[in-house]
Amino acid sequence: MGLDPSLVKCGWGIVRAQGLKITHVAHGVIKPDTKQDLALRINTLYNDIADIIKIHAPDEAAVEDMFLKNNPNSAIKLGYARAVCLLAPAQAGIYVGEYSARKVKKSVVGTGTADKTQVAAMMNVLLPGQNLKPGDAADALAIAICHAHRASAAGALHRRFA
């Protein structure tokens, strides 16, 4: 499971990795009501991720690492979203990997400077038939694939937390 943190549009994507073969399972975007108080948006994000985990039962999760923004308030809110994206899988006993945006792009596109259009195009090559648009769900699938590649290179997936 890959998660692209946001309190506005949090992308999620699930892939199945069997050796080098990657297949699409599901993807989507969680959109908490931006008119709600911050605590309610965080709660919505947590509950929706927890529900996705219950439905799809991923073995592992991966979250994009935080990058610095110019607006400190935006960076703090992104930090809250990221914390939820780390907490929900951890609460379900699922290992969570963390990857920089640069590492994800390099893993799936071949260059760490790829833009969202290039990431989505590669997701459509790797996961045919999904017709993914540039944005949060395509990014989340890229995070999931990056994690699957790293786990495969390491020889095995991490196991659920004890």
The verdict on whether 33 is a catalytic residue reads no
Q: Which of 4, 48, 60, 139 is catalytic?
A: 4
Beta-strand pair 2-4/10-18: antiparallel
Domain boundaries, the chain: 2-154
Q: Write out pLDDT tens, residues 37-83.
A: 999 999 999 999 999 999 999 999 999 998 766 788 888 999 999 99
CATH of domain 2-154: 3.30.420.10
Q: Which of 37, 64, 98, 139 is catalytic?
A: 64
Q: Write out pLDDT tens, residues 116-130.
A: 999 999 999 999 999
On whether the CB atoms of residues 41 and 33 are closer than 8 A, the answer is yes
The verdict on whether 48 is a catalytic residue reads no
The verdict on whether 59 is a catalytic residue reads no
On whether the CB atoms of residues 25 and 56 are closer than 8 A, the answer is yes
Beta-strand pair 2-4/21-30: unpaired
- Rounded to two decimals, what is the model's pTM? 0.92
Per-residue pLDDT band for 153 (boundaries 50, 70, 90) equals low
Residue-level pLDDT at 86: 98
